[in-house]
Structure 1
Amino acid sequence: MTTTQPPARGARAASAKPTRRSVLAGALATAGGVALAACSPSAGAGSGGGTTLVVAGQSDNLTQVFNPFLAHSANGLTYASQGQGGFIYEPLVQINTVDIGKDIPWLAEKWAWAENNRKLTFTLQSGVKWTDGKPFSADDVVFTFEMLKKHPGLNLLGVAFDTIEATGPTEVVMTFAAPSEQFFTNIVSAPIVSRHIWSKAGDPTTYTDKNPVGTGPFKLGSFSAQSFVLERNEHYWQQKAQVESIRFVAYKDNQSMTNALVQGQADWGGTYIADADKTYLSRSKDNHYWAPLAGTDGLIPNLERWPLSDLAVRRAISLGVDRKQVGGATGAPPATNVTGLPMPAYQDEVSAQYRGVDFVQDKAKAEKTLTDAGYTKGGDGYYHKGGKRVEFSISFPSAYTDIASRVQVLVSQLKDIGIKLTIDTTTVNDINDVTAKGDFDSTMGYPVGSAPRAFSFYNDTINPNLYYPLGKATPTSQNIERFRNTEAAQLFKQYPKASSDKERRQILDKIQTVFVENLPWIPMFYWGSYGNWSTAKVSGFPTPGNPYFSPVPNPVVALRLKPV
C-alpha cells in the first residue's frame, strides 16, 4: 500500500492522538496552576506586534521540560501523540481522528508497505531544517527510533520493530518480525528529535530538553512558572504560521480553564464546559464549542480485584445503570451498541450479530444476576457474598470535574441495585501511574486514545498479550484492567497475519464476541475531542460544517488560522 501524494506545502497543515480520555483525553491535560494576569489575549507578541493566541491547558505542575518522551513535561501541551502532535517536534505522519482515513503526510512525504507488511519504507520531505539551522535527514529518524528501542520507558506509543536503516538522505526502511500494518498510526506518531543534539544529551530518560530544537512551526520563546510562549518558526519548511506566537497557560482544573475561556482570558482550549450554550456560547458571538466523537468511555475495572473480577458483578452493573444519565451529567451521549464501538462512526465495523443490539437498563435483571451468582442482600441494602459487601472504589483526578459529575450519578445508580461505590481521587500527574501499576479498584477514562480504527480500539483496551501482573506497570498503558483470555490472546496474534480484508473481518468479529460475552470493561458514554475557541482574533478553526481536523489545540489547526 502506498499513500496518496501529500498536499502542497502550506495548503494543509499538521495533526495527531490523546493521553487519558474524557478530560483524561478530551482536555488533553498539560501544565499547572497560573495567575491569569500573566497573559492578556489581546496583547501582541514580539517586536512585530503580531497576533498572539492564548491557549488554556491543564496540569498540576509546570516545569521547563520539553522532552517529548517524558510523561510529565511542558511539552505535553505541544505534543500529545496521535491527534495533537508537532508544535515543536513533528511526527512522520499526522493521524486525523475526525476526518477518519484522511491522514496527512508530514515529515514523511510518502510511505509503502512490502513483504506482507513486514517492511515499511518512508520517503522523507527534503529541505527540512531544525530551528538551529542544521538539516533534517533520515539519520534523525533512525536515531529517534533506535533510542526508543534502547529505552523502552520512552516508547510511550509502544512502537516495536526489528531493524531500521537510512538507505538515503530522505529514505528510511523499517523491518518487523511480524506483520505490523495495524500499528501504523503508533509508528508514524512518534516525535522525531535531532541526532546532533540528542546524541550528546546524555541519558534521554532524564534529559530535560529545556531549550528544544525541533522542525515544527513554532519554537520556544519565554518560559515562566505560569506559562510559556512558542514563537513562530520563520524558517519553517512548510508555509509558516500566520499567528506570530502562542502562549500556553496552565490551569489547575476544568473550571479554571472554563473561567479563562468564558472571561476572554484564553482564546483556545480543549476542555469540557458544563452547560456550554449558557455559560460560554451565549457570552459572545465569537465563542465556539465542538466535541466531535472520538471514542467510548465507561467504568474500567481492575480484573485482579474482587468484586469486579466477578463477571456477574460487571454484568449487573452494566444492566443496572442508566447510561443516558451517566453521560448526560456532562452532555456526553450514552453508549449504545454492546460491542463498545462508538456509534454511528463505527457502525460498519460492528459484527452482523450485534448490529442494532444495544445496552438496555434493567435493574430487576441486574439484581437477579447477582442473586443467581450467590449474592444476598444484607440489612444495609447492599449485596454480600462470603461475608464481604459488594463494594469498590473509583479513582480519578479531582481536577477532572466532568468525570466527578458522572461518578456522582454512578454512585447513586449503583446504590439502587445494591452495590456500593466510593470515590478515591488523585492528581492529574499520578493517575496514569496508579492505573499502570494496577493500584486501583476501578477508574473512568482510558489512559490511551486509540487510533481511529476498530482493531486499535480493542487492541489498546483488552489485548491479553499486553497483560502485566499487579505492581508491574504496563509500559504503554494498554489493558490496564488486566484482562486475560486464551481465545482473545490467540485472536490478537492472528489478526496481523491475516492476508485479506475478509479474514481480518472474521477475526475482528470474534474479538467483538469476546468483548460482549466477557465485558472486560463497561462502556457507558461516548466522548468527544472538546474544542473551545474564540474567533475574535483569528478564523479558520474546524467546525461541524468543515470538520477537517480535531478542534483541540494542535498545529494542524494553528497553521490554518488567519488573523481577522
Structure 2
Amino acid sequence: MFLKARRSSRARVAAAGLAAVAMLATACGGSNDSGGDRNTDTLVVYTGQSGDWQLNFNPFSPTMLEGPGTIFEPLFFFNNVRDVEPRPRLGKSFTWNADGTRLDVELRDDAEFTDGEKFTAEDVVFTLDMVKNNPSMNGTGYKGVATAVDDTHVSITFPEPSFMEGPQVLGRIWMVPQHRWKDIATPATDVVSEPVGTGPFQLADFKAQAFTLKSNTGYWAGEPALKNIRYVALSGNQSGEAALRQGQIDWQTGPVPDMANIEKNYPGYKGITIPLNQAALFTCSNAELGCQGPQTDVAVRKAVYYGMNRTQINSLAFENTAGEISPGFALLERDEPVVSDELQERSAPMQPDVAKATAALEGAGYAKGPDGVYAKDGKPVAMTIKVVAGWTDYITAVETIAQQLQQVGIKITPQQVSWNEWSDSRGRGQYELLIDALHQGPAPDPFYNASYFFSTATTAKVGEVANPNFARFSNPAVDGALTALKGVNPEDDAARQPYFDTIQTEIEKSIPYIPILTAGTTSEYNAKKFTGWPTQDDLYSFPAVWARPEHSEIFLKLKPAGQ
C-alpha cells in the first residue's frame, strides 16, 4: 500500500521523530557530554532509513542495506572527488596492455574471508563471471573474460579496447567468496543473510530497528580502531535531526535547519558540504520497454524541465546548498573542461519559462482543458511522483514542484512511500516519476555517470530489475559513444570530446532524468567523539554515510578521540 501524502503533518512527523529518539536513547544507554553512544568505540549512523530495515546484505542488490567496502571489498579504492592515485584494497597493482584489451591485476596474498578461508584469484574470477552472467547484478556493464594466472594474479581480457572499464571493474565490483556463493541458486535476488567477506567489518547482529557491524579482528590491514558501527532506523529527516541534537547519532548525511551554523547549533559536531550528486525527477521514460504514463512523451518531460523554478526549490528544500545542473549531466564544476559546447543550454534554467513549457506541450498536440490541465487524446498530463516518507528535503522539493507545474498545466501528485517500496518501484520501473539523485562513478570522470544511468546495458524491461538505468533510457548513439570512450586513452582529451558531445546532447534531447539541481551533500558528524573525518582540505573520500565504498574509507580512518 502507498502511504498517504502528508502535506500538513509536520507536527505529527516531529512528534514521531521525538518518540523514535527516545527509543534510540534507551537502546544506546543515553548520551554523554561528547554526544553519541556511551560506548566510545561505537559509531552510531543514520543513513536516512525511514521505517524498519528489511534484511538484505547482497552487495549487488539495489535494495541492499550494507556491504560494499565494509563487508565486501573492491580491488582498489578510487576517489571520485579528487583526481588522485587509487588506493590498494584487495589488489596491489594493475597494468593495461597497449591497446586497452587486457588488464592484469596483482592481488594481496594476506587477505582472508571472515570464515577463515583464504582469498585468491579464483574468488575474483568467480565474482566477475557471476556479475557478467546476471544482468541485474552488472551495474557497471562488465563483459570481460577473467582468468586466474595463479593465486595472486588475474588477467582480464575485453572484446574491445576498454580503458574506462578499469576503475569500474577494480573499484565498483565487490569480491565475494566462491566457496559460499557457488551454491546460491539465484545470486541476484538472494538476501545473503549471513554475509562473509574480506572487509574491515562484519555483521554482528541484525534487528528490524537497527543492526551492527563489528570490526574484523583478522583484517589484512589490521583491526580498525573503530570497533562498532550501529545503523539505526528512524522516521525520517526530522527524527534524524532530533537525534543529532540530543547527541544520539554520530554521523548522518542529510539536511538540518540552519545548515550554515552546524557547529553552533550542535555542539561537538561539524558539517561538510560537497556538491557531487545530481538531484533529478526520474521518469520511467521508455514506452518500448513497458513504461506507461504521460512522462513517456519527451514533450511532457520538456514541459516539466522548463516549468520548474529551481531558485525557489533550492531555497525552500535545500537551504540554498545546491547548485546549477547541466541537462547533459556532466558536473559543471568538476567536469567543466568536457561540458559540451554543443548543448542547447549549458545549465538548466534557474527560473521557470512558462512559454517554452506550454509550447513544448502544444507543439506535441496537447490542449489545455477546462480544469487548466493539458490533455491529449482524452488523457490529462497528470502524474504521481514517489518520494520516501521522512525525506523532508525531497518532500518539500516535490511539493514545491507540484505547485510550480500548475502554472504550465501539469498536475503532479506527490506520494510518500516507504524506502523499501520506493526502491522496489524504482528498480522495476513501476512508477511515473520519482525523486532521487544520480550518483557518480569510481573516478572523477563523467563517463561513469553516463555509463551507469544512460546505457542500454544497465536497464531492463518494466517488471525486471534495472541497475541503475532506472529511467529505461536506450539510445544507440549514446551506447556507441560509451563504447568508443572505453577504448580511448583517458589522457587524450581531444579524442574523447566528440563522444562526450554526443552523449550530452542526446541526453539533453530526451531528458529521461529531469534535472533539478546539483545537490550539496551535507554531512553532520561527531568531531568530539571521533577524529579522522574528511575535510575540505583533505577530501580523501566523498563524505556521505550512504556512499559505498566511500564510507568504508572513512570508517577505516576514524579513531575514538584520544587514541
Distance 2:451 2:151 in 1: 34
Query: How much has 1:134 moved relative to structure 2?
Result: 3.2
Distance 2:56 2:346 in 1: 48
My pick for the range that moved more, 215-224 or 91-100, is 215-224
Residues 209-288 of structure 1 mapped to structure 2, 5 A cutoff: 209-277=192-260, 280-288=262-270
Distance 2:117 2:79 in 1: 29
Residues 28-427 of structure 1 mapped to structure 2, 5 A cutoff: 35-36=23-24, 37-40=26-29, 51-57=41-47, 58-62=49-53, 65-73=56-64, 76-77=65-66, 79=67, 85-114=68-97, 116-153=99-136, 155-188=137-170, 189-199=172-182, 204-205=187-188, 208-277=191-260, 280-303=262-285, 304=287, 305-328=292-315, 329-331=317-319, 332-354=321-343, 357-360=346-349, 361=351, 362-427=353-418
Query: How much has 1:382 moved relative to structure 2?
Result: 2.3
Alignment match, 2:557: 560
My pick for the range that moved more, 53-62 or 397-406, is 53-62
My pick for the range that moved more, 218-227 or 186-195, is 218-227
Q: Is the 8 A contact 1:377 1:418 kept in 2?
A: yes
Distance 2:381 2:401 in 1: 15
- Change over 3 Å in CA distance of 1:470–1:72 after alignment to 2: closer
Matched, 1:543 2:500: no
Q: Is the 8 A contact 2:326 2:346 kept in 1?
A: yes
Matched, 1:516 2:508: yes
Secondary structure of the structure 2 residue equivalent to 1:248: strand
Q: Is the 8 A contact 2:244 2:266 kept in 1?
A: no
Q: TM-score, normalised by structure 2?
A: 0.83
My pick for the range that moved more, 358-367 or 115-124, is 358-367
Query: How much has 1:464 moved relative to structure 2?
Result: 4.4
Query: How much has 1:115 moved relative to structure 2?
Result: 5.6
Distance 2:130 2:259 in 1: 44
Distance 2:475 2:190 in 1: 39
Distance 2:453 2:296 in 1: 16
Q: Is the 8 A contact 1:131 1:233 kept in 2?
A: yes
Q: Which amino acid aligns with 1:318?
A: Y
- Change over 3 Å in CA distance of 1:292–1:102 after alignment to 2: farther
Deviations along 1:44-91, whole A, 9 cap, x unmatched?
Answer: 9xxxx7622212232543355533334444xx23x3xxxxx3222211
Distance 2:141 2:476 in 1: 24
Alignment match, 1:82: none
Q: Which amino acid aligns with 2:252?
A: G
Alignment match, 2:445: 453
Q: Is the 8 A contact 1:286 1:534 kept in 2?
A: yes
Query: How much has 1:446 moved relative to structure 2?
Result: 4.6
Unaligned runs of 5+ in 1: 1-32, 80-84
Query: How much has 1:159 moved relative to structure 2?
Result: 4.7
Secondary structure of the structure 1 residue equivalent to 2:402: helix
Q: Which amino acid aligns with 2:332?
A: M
Secondary structure of the structure 1 residue equivalent to 2:330: coil
Matched, 1:490 2:490: no
Distance 2:62 2:330 in 1: 27
Pairwise CA RMSD of aligned residues?
Answer: 3.0
Deviations along 1:294-319, whole A, 9 cap, x unmatched?
Answer: 22222222223453333333223222
Alignment match, 1:9: none
Alignment match, 1:3: none
Q: Is the 8 A contact 1:324 1:334 kept in 2?
A: no
Q: Is the 8 A contact 1:109 1:123 kept in 2?
A: yes
Question: How many corresponding residue pairs?
Answer: 517
Distance 1:466 1:156 in 2: 7
Query: How much has 1:434 moved relative to structure 2?
Result: 1.6
Query: How much has 1:426 moved relative to structure 2?
Result: 2.6
Secondary structure of the structure 1 residue equivalent to 2:427: helix
Distance 2:426 2:206 in 1: 31
Distance 1:202 1:302 in 2: 30
Query: How much has 1:171 moved relative to structure 2?
Result: 0.7
Identical aligned pairs, as a percentage?
A: 30
Distance 2:376 2:116 in 1: 68
Secondary structure of the structure 1 residue equivalent to 2:517: strand
Q: Which amino acid aligns with 1:330?
A: F
Query: How much has 1:541 moved relative to structure 2?
Result: 0.4
- Change over 3 Å in CA distance of 1:180–1:425 after alignment to 2: farther
Q: Is the 8 A contact 2:141 2:457 kept in 1?
A: no
Distance 1:518 1:209 in 2: 38
Q: Is the 8 A contact 1:335 1:342 kept in 2?
A: no
Deviations along 1:422-441, whole A, 9 cap, x unmatched?
Answer: 12333211223323332221
Deviations along 1:130-180, whole A, 9 cap, x unmatched?
Answer: 333333221222222233344444x25245234212112211111222333
Deviations along 1:201-258, whole A, 9 cap, x unmatched?
Answer: 6654565544433222223334444323322223322143222322222223222222
Distance 1:390 1:210 in 2: 43
Q: Is the 8 A contact 1:59 1:428 kept in 2?
A: yes
Query: How much has 1:38 moved relative to structure 2?
Result: 1.1
Q: TM-score, normalised by structure 1?
A: 0.83
Q: Which amino acid aligns with 1:320?
A: G
Q: Which amino acid aligns with 1:322?
A: N
My pick for the range that moved more, 483-492 or 425-434, is 483-492
Deviations along 1:289-346, whole A, 9 cap, x unmatched?
Answer: 2231222222222223453333333223222221111233223424344433222121
My pick for the range that moved more, 534-543 or 552-561, is 552-561
Distance 1:241 1:103 in 2: 20
Query: How much has 1:106 moved relative to structure 2?
Result: 1.1
Q: Which amino acid aligns with 2:318?
A: T
Q: Which amino acid aligns with 1:517?
A: K
Q: Which amino acid aligns with 2:152?
A: T
Unaligned runs of 5+ in 2: 1-19, 546-550
- Change over 3 Å in CA distance of 1:231–1:183 after alignment to 2: same
Q: Which amino acid aligns with 2:214?
A: E
Q: Is the 8 A contact 2:394 2:435 kept in 1?
A: yes
Secondary structure of the structure 2 residue equivalent to 1:291: strand
Q: Which amino acid aligns with 2:354?
A: K
